[in-house]
């Protein structure tokens, strides 16, 4: 991939150019130096990093967590113990999200079953109960 402008990079990764500028300010994405013509040009590494950021956000990672992941690769003082603790904490969060999603899935399946039985059954069903942690839908 040849060097491209921020507009083309944004189109390639399917994000807003302002989001890229925000990532520059937050220190998550290194801003390339301006060239003689006054433009900044981005390369394949920028596109890969932005794709990673976008996917990680979609999967529930915060920008701070994403930045921490990048910094662990770049800083020599990051130890395996530090990385392992962060990874284990994220695994616990993911496991909890999976459990929550499974509870919601079961509730929606129950709703589908209630619809199959009849509209009276469906009207008695409270789908919002699936978000109640104490409810074992």
Q: Any idea what the CATH number is for the domain that residue 26 is in?
A: 1.10.1660.10
Is 56 found in the same domain as 11? yes
| pLDDT computed for residue 72 by the predictor | 72
Cβ contacts of 18-24, under 8 Å, gap ≥ 24: 20/50, 23/50, 23/53
Give pTM, 2 decimals: 0.67
Per-residue model confidence as pLDDT tens digits over 51-60: 999 999 988 8
Is 93 found in the same domain as 56? no
Confidence of residue 42 (pLDDT cuts 50, 70, 90): very high
Range of the domain at 50: 6-60
- Residue-level length of the chain: 137
Residue 78 lies in a domain: no
């Amino acid at each position: 991939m040849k060097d491209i402008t921020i507009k083309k990079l944004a189109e390639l990764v399917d994000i807003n150019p302002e989001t890229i500028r925000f990532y520059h300010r937050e220190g998550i994405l290194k801003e390339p130096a301006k060239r003689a013509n006054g433009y900044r040009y981005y390369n394949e590494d920028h596109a890969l990093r932005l794709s990673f950021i976008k996917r990680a956000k979609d999967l529930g990672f915060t920008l701070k967590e994403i930045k921490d992941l990048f910094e662990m690769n770049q800083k020599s003082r990051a130890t395996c113990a530090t990385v392992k603790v962060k990874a284990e904490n994220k695994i616990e969060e993911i496991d909890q999200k999976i459990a929550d999603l499974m509870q919601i899935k079961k509730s929606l399946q129950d709703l589908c079953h209630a619809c199959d039985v009849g509209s009276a059954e469906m009207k008695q069903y409270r789908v919002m109960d699936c978000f109640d942690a104490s409810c074992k839908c």
